[in-house]
Structure 1
Amino acid sequence: MYDFEVIDAAPDHLALDHENPRFFLREKLSQTQIIEQLVVFEDIAVLARSIAENGLLPGERLIAIREGGAMVVVEGNRRLCAIKLLLDRTLIPATHRNSFPAPTAEVSQSLRTLSVDLLPDRVAAEPVITRRHTTFGVKQWGVLQKIRRTQRYWEKFKSLDLVSDTLGFSKADVARDIREFALVDLGLTLPRWTKAEKARLNDIHLSANPYIRFISRQDVRDALGVAFNADFKLELTKNRERTKRAVEHIVRQFLLPLADGGPPPKNTRANEMEELAEINRIFESSENDVGAKDQDQADEKSGEDQDAGQDNAESSGGKDRDAVRDPFFKTLRVTISDPAVHVVASEIKKVTPNRPLTACLLLRGLVETVFAFRLDEKGLLPPNVKNGRGPAINSLVNSVIANYNELGLSWGVHAAVVPNSTEVKRIANHLRVVLQKLP
């Protein structure tokens, strides 16, 4: 038996649920933000038109709880949102107002008082919510909503038994949901994503199955150095920067939709072995990295190594001059919060003066990553670069030249490069100006 009471309440006295599993977001959303999310991603306009034409169907009441001094609707948020917008058009996001009809006076009057089942708390409401969203008739949750909901109860109880009893899932299913949430969260919270990419990753309808299927494989997790302790906490056992780069690669291949709205490049099992090989290549290319530290620590260690190399070379009377680091690269510091730029900058600081061609290639990589970051930040990144197609460096340079005023830069781009140490130093000093102009 369910412990509840039936009450009548005005829509403006009911709050939308910021813990709605449809929102795969850690931050608490405001009522306005919840409305925007539901309108954009959950077909609220279609539901509103149906309600405006036919009124509410009898028999299904909203389910609410008392929480934080408010009555929060934990089941029926789409209906409540549609009703709120029909009764108060100022709540409709400006770009969607034309999609919402004006209800008749009779329908409006019928919506001003709603019948609500009021339950004591979320735990009491969960069995009803689970039944409704795992049977036909109510819009089903996707995998992201399901694992987010399980994670919230895990954070609350820290007990597989309690979460299992509350949600009606087996303990094995609860444990799987917690692990899958951690793997998805690892990808979504990387610092690399631009605002546009974050918006695409926060889409309620994001298809996560290919990403979860791939990154949950034991051989993939072993390659990444990703493990779980007894409390299901994610642990990174390899070089953290390389792991993050590899996870970013997986997200871009299996999870992040393309800028034009298309699906991610890889979404079939046929692609999984080649992507596993790519992950192994990412780690194999890092054999000379400076340990499993965060980027700032890596930069600091790299500087210490360079200082030691300089001292050793001087004390040996010049016998180890090949180990002396170029003074400019030794002191290079990049303030951009972009992992790709930091990785290239870390590599270039290891180059000795007798390797000008290597330095030129890395300088090109540094320019390319800086250009890509700055253009993407302004929403000017060329489509072929976003989609991983076409000659990236040509497109980036042309875009920078075409938009240098908007980017806040005022410097030339030179095509001819002679790979010798003097020329490398000259280009590097120009590049210093570029980096200093970036925020």
Structure 2
Amino acid sequence: MSRSAKLLLIVLIVLVPVLLYGIAKGALYYKAKTTVDDFVLAAANHADIRYVDIDTDLRGIVTVNQITVQPSGYQDTIGIHSVRVSSDDPMFFLRGGPSDGENRSPPPQLGFEVAGIKVPLHSDLINAGLAGDAGAAPTDAADAPEAIGACANGLNIDPAMLQQMGFAELTMDLGGRYRVDQTTREMSLAFDLDMHDIESVHANARLTDVDMQTFAAGGAPQFNLGDLTFAMRVNPAFGRQALKTCAIGTEQPVQEWSERLADQALVQLEAQGMTLGHGLSSALRRFYAEWGEFRLEARPAKPVGLMSLLFVPPEQLVSILGLRMSLNDRPIDDIGFEWKRPGGQGLNALLEPTPQGESDGPRRPPSRVLMRREFIEVPVNAIGSYIDREVKIKPRGEPLREGVLKRISDGDAEVEQLLHGGRFTVFVPLREIESVAVLELRQIEPGGG
């Protein structure tokens, strides 16, 4: 082979992959831009939407940058730093969505992130919304003789109150994602919302026995709930400032507004048929005093069908779902409550006939759900099954370690403990562990101990 032929071969070896990459990236960019432009055109009657540029990544990521949205009939605009859509199936972006009656299976993984949403609180769009709500829920002076100030009817974090607290704009990030495992028929879901300097919400769920055939056809599949985690955090600095704002124009000091807001929240819950027990009521009052993170976990012993919960008496929901709650990393011991569902105690109330002699009499009030926290001993060699659970570990010749088991690594059990308001991690060698106990919540039967 001549020298020129070898040189040409080397050039081709280098250029062909680059050329193929350029073609694929160009096709992905063209498809993404076409899809975005079609969306902008379809929304033209409702809003003027503009963007600066689009970034594409062949790993399956499309990002639209510097978006502005001006709703029709309004002067102000809503700014969005970026919208990012990702999937582990790059062909999803090249194929596009279904059209002309064509069914296309959703990708096994899909996520989105909307970063830097900025909404001006003084905008004409916000003011129009406030004007529409002005007379929607007038205050009854007879029920609230001191109904003055921003929190006369409870804590309502609306644009008007945010402006009163000194906010000029509301900045948010939000995102969501799902992932499907065709083999195990499981789906994981996640959602995140972060309102900067105000509050954040995070939710994760694991679904089992997902109807993959319906999912592949683009429909809403049936499923069972494997587990669920929900966390809401209110920035303590924001919460304290909110209490100060509530106190403006009233004769009550800031310290009393915490109790008043908690009382109002309890009354609102009772109006909806739910009465909290001592533990949850105390936690609610503590929340309005300390703010911070409220966390709820549902870990049923076996997956639960959501429709079946409609047939379950409310007092059994805690045990069936394996509910656990905490406030600022402190478990809420008593999560008992009474709940009077509208129209009966579930769908079974519609299906079962009313016994004779009871139709005209008063209904028996729902019983309170009482739960007991107990540490149950488990085999030491099963300790790895209790990650993220509250445990008591007794090392040989050492003090008892109580806290949250974070991980098993390098022959050690890592336990996170709360001491003096801080978090500390201790490492317990597995070979030195004499016993392990795991915290369980058990329902106390009426009249039982």
| Same fold per superposition (TM over 0.5) | no
Q: What is the TM-score normalised by the length of structure 2?
A: 0.24
Instruction: Give the structure with the higher percent helix.
Output: 1
TM-score, normalised via structure 1 length: 0.25
Q: Which has the higher contact order (CA 8 A, sep 6+)?
A: 1
